[in-house]
């Protein structure tokens, strides 16, 4: 199934008893805004992790990449759980703008502390603790922004969720090309690494401000106002059945979790497999005498490009059979023996071509199946619970990310 203009034709009962058709998304502006928001909320994490070479130089005794992952994942998980439990007491507009502001704060910390305290000197671990704290703030921001944007997209036609998910993939592609640019232009010494890191954080700060402007614009678009009204009426119907107390809300959350649990299982499996292999295996375990230190950078770029292709392809064809989609998630476990063969298998299997092809397929399936499950999950519940289903889906996804990151330490040893 491809997305068409008919995906935006939910009908709203009017006061006269007639049906009002959803306004047109002129110039696909709402779609592009949601795409850019998805692009934006993953950029800060990409900035921190892409600048890991510089942080590793400054703090050689710290396991920078692993500590960063633990801090970001744990803070994000906790933040998402809090948001799910108390979503009924807050508004997505407030959470998203607060999160974007926190992103700006966290991104400003690194260049400022580098300019006024660390100054490119090795071993000033006070700077590392502050940087880890800034990453924790970024994790809180990610929970607020990602959970709320995905949740709000869950209340809209499928094309807007697809836009958000494709935007997250575009973020990885842009950062990959930034990494190629900085490696080609800047010297790979402390000065070059510092300039690269400042570029990543500078670009991310600008993007966060653009996201603030675009999100404010989105809320003024006729099509967004229309779906807000649809939601208000759906909630009003539910409120007629009784007040939404804390216990009722918790019951609703658990009911939502039960409804989408198999979609969540698929999302966890996707990221257990992906994060167990990418990027650690690709950057540390496979090598090329021909491409040398460009090899991992090019492999990461291949993964990100095909992840974007997969997440964009749902705009052309959406697999609506959840059982097949979840079955494909299980089938991705075959990537473990295949990538293991790239280390210990036949000689040809250990060359650049098989590794590159497998990396591209890993990215393609990661992107497509993520997009399918994230689109379908919120549509399995009532409209008034679609935002909660979207946030719970993100929680499942982050659990998969965290689990995959842990497994990545062990599976090829």
Question: What domains appear along the chain, each with residue ranges and CATH number?
Answer: 26-407 (1.20.1250.20)
Alpha helices in 219-286 (DSSP H): 222-239, 246-277, 280-284
CA 225 vs CA 29, 144, 218, 322, 370: distances in Å = 14, 22, 9, 31, 28
Instruction: Give the pLDDT confidence score for residue 282 in this predicted structure.
Output: 67
Distance of alpha carbon 134 from alpha carbon 125, whole angstroms: 14
- SS3 call for 11: strand
Distance of alpha carbon 326 from alpha carbon 381, whole angstroms: 18
Instruction: Give the pLDDT confidence score for residue 2 in this predicted structure.
Output: 57
Q: Which positions ≥6 away from 321 have C-beta within 8 Å?
A: none
Q: Nearest-CA neighbor of 283 among 348, 353, 354, 355?
A: 355
Q: How many CB atoms neighbour CB 29 within 10 A?
A: 15
CA 94 vs CA 37, 127, 160, 325, 394: distances in Å = 15, 31, 20, 34, 19
Q: Residue 45: which H helix or E strand, with range?
A: helix 29-50
Instruction: Give the pLDDT confidence score for residue 312 in this predicted structure.
Output: 96
Distance of alpha carbon 39 from alpha carbon 360, whole angstroms: 20
Instruction: Give the pLDDT confidence score for residue 12 in this predicted structure.
Output: 45
* Tens-binned pLDDT, residue by residue, of the chain (413 aa): 555 544 444 444 444 344 567 888 888 999 999 999 999 999 999 888 888 888 888 888 887 777 888 889 889 999 998 988 887 788 888 999 999 999 999 999 988 998 888 877 887 888 899 999 999 999 999 999 999 999 999 989 999 999 999 999 999 999 889 988 988 898 878 889 889 989 999 999 999 999 999 999 998 999 998 988 887 777 666 655 555 556 676 788 889 999 999 999 999 999 999 988 887 766 666 777 777 778 888 888 899 999 999 999 999 999 999 999 999 999 999 999 998 888 777 877 777 888 899 999 999 999 999 999 999 999 999 888 898 899 999 999 999 988 888 887 776 55
Instruction: Give the pLDDT confidence score for residue 287 in this predicted structure.
Output: 72
pTM of the model: 0.87
Q: How many CB atoms neighbour CB 87 within 10 A?
A: 19
Distance of alpha carbon 66 from alpha carbon 57, whole angstroms: 15
Instruction: Give the pLDDT confidence score for residue 157 in this predicted structure.
Output: 92
Number of H helices and E strands in the chain, helices first, is 15, 2
Q: Which positions ≥6 away from 392 have C-beta within 8 Å?
A: 84, 253, 256, 257, 260, 264, 377
Chain CA centroid to CA 251, Å: 27
Distance of alpha carbon 111 from alpha carbon 204, whole angstroms: 12
């Amino acid at each position: 199934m491809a997305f068409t203009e008919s995906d935006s034709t939910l009908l709203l009962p009017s006061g006269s008893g007639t049906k009002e058709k959803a306004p047109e998304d002129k110039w696909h502006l709402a779609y592009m805004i949601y795409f850019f928001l998805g692009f934006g909320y993953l950029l800060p994490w990409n900035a921190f992790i892409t600048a890991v070479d510089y942080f590793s130089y400054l703090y050689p005794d710290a396991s920078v990449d692993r500590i960063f992952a633990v801090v970001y994942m744990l803070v994000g998980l906790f933040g998402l759980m809090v948001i799910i439990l108390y979503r009924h007491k807050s508004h997505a507009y407030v959470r998203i703008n607060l999160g974007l502001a926190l992103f700006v704060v966290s991104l400003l910390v690194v260049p400022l502390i580098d300019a006024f305290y660390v100054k490119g000197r090795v071993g000033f671990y006070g700077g590392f603790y502050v940087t880890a704290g800034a990453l924790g703030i970024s994790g809180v921001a990610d929970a607020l922004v990602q959970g709320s944007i995905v949740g709000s997209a869950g209340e809209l036609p499928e094309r807007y969720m697809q836009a958000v998910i494709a935007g997250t993939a575009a973020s990885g592609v842009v950062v990959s090309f930034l990494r190629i640019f900085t490696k080609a232009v800047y010297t790979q010494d402390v000065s070059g690494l510092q300039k690269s890191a400042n570029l990543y954080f500078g670009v991310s700060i600008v993007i966060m401000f653009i996201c603030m402007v675009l999100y404010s614009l989105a809320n003024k678009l006729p099509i967004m106002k229309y779906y807000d009204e649809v939601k208000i009426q759906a909630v009003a119907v539910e409120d007629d059945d009784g007040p939404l107390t804390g216990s009722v809300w918790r019951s609703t959350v658990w009911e939502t979790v039960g409804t989408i649990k198999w979609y969540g299982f698929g999302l966890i499996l996707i990221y257990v497999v992906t994060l167990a292999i990418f990027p650690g295996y690709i950057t540390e375990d496979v090598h090329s005498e021909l491409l040398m230190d460009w090899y991992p950078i090019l492999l990461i770029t291949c993964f990100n490009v095909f992840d974007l292709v997969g997440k964009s392809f749902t705009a052309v064809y959406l697999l609506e059979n959840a059982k097949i989609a979840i079955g494909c998630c299980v089938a991705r476990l075959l990537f473990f023996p295949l990538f293991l063969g790239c280390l210990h298998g036949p000689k040809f299997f250990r060359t650049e071509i098989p590794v590159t092809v497998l990396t591209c397929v890993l990215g393609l399936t990661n992107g497509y199946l993520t997009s399918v499950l994230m689109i379908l999950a919120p549509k399995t519940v009532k409209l008034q619970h679609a935002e909660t289903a979207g946030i719970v889906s993100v929680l499942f996804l982050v659990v998969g990310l965290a689990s995959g990151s842990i497994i990545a330490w062990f599976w090829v040893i």
